[in-house]
């Protein structure tokens, strides 16, 4: 992998996959060529993770290329520095995630997104789970936090949920009042995108 030019290569991959999705390749198995799969593996990413970003972007313009790049950059950094380029052999069980209504100090969704962020950092996401899904984006928008910034804070906090809670509260307090939540839409397969 060309460490200097990887963001440019990633943009090309993202644009190619948007076009592939538009052309009818609607699953992670057919959307990516072998060399693209290899490139993603070198970043610590999986085709399914990027497919989810492409699909949501295709239908709703979110998360979009920039957010996908920033999230992937955090995962890549963790993969190369903490995991020394070795993928985890573990995949989390979705049944072990906190429920969507779970709260941390009265903040709904926070326990769930923390665990999703930890799984994203470690590369332990199951195929049916997406970090920065519509629910995550709604939570992050409400609290004035970018998805990549939240991921970095979870990394920095380690096992200290109090630090993450403080981060969320600080950002929510500084969030402009004019941020409005967009309308939700139903995607193919019944997935909800907000």
Q: List, in order, residues 6 or more apart from 52 with CB less than 8 Å away.
A: 130, 133
Domain enclosing residue 87, as ranges: 6-193
Number of structural domains, the chain?
1
Structure tokens at 1: 């992998």
List, for the chain, all residue ranges whose pLDDT scores fall below the cut of 70.
Answer: 177-194
The pLDDT value recorded for residue 186 is 47
Residue 145 belongs to a domain = yes
Burial of 82 (C-beta count, 10 Å sphere; 0-12/13-18/19+):
exposed
Q: Is 115 within 8 Å of 159 (Cβ atoms)?
A: no
Domain assignment present for residue 1? The answer is no
Tell me the pTM: 0.89
Q: Centre a 10 Å sphere on the Cβ of residue 55 and count the other Cβ atoms it contains.
A: 23
State the virtual CA torsion across 126, 119, 17, 187 in degrees, nearest 10.
60
The answer as to whether 104 is a domain residue is yes
pLDDT at site 23 = 96
């Amino acid at each position: 992998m060309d460490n200097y030019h990887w963001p440019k290569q990633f943009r090309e991959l993202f644009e190619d996959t948007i076009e592939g999705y538009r052309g009818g390749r609607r699953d992670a198995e057919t959307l990516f060529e072998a060399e693209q799969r290899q490139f993603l593996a070198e970043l610590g990413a999986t085709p399914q993770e990027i497919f989810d970003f492409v699909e949501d972007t295709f239908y709703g313009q979110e998360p979009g290329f920039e957010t996908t790049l920033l999230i992937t950059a955090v995962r890549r950094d963790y993969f190369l520095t903490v995991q020394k380029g070795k993928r985890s052999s573990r995949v989390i069980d979705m049944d072990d995630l906190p429920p969507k209504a779970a709260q941390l100090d009265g903040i709904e969704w926070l326990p769930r997104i923390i665990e999703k962020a930890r799984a994203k950092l470690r590369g332990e996401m199951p195929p049916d789970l997406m970090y920065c899904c519509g629910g995550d984006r709604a939570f992050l928008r409400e609290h004035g936090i970018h998805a990549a910034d939240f991921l970095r804070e979870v990394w920095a906090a380690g096992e200290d949920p109090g630090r993450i809670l403080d981060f969320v509260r600080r950002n929510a307090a500084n969030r402009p009042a004019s941020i409005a939540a967009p309308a939700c839409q139903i995607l193919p397969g019944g997935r909800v995108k907000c």
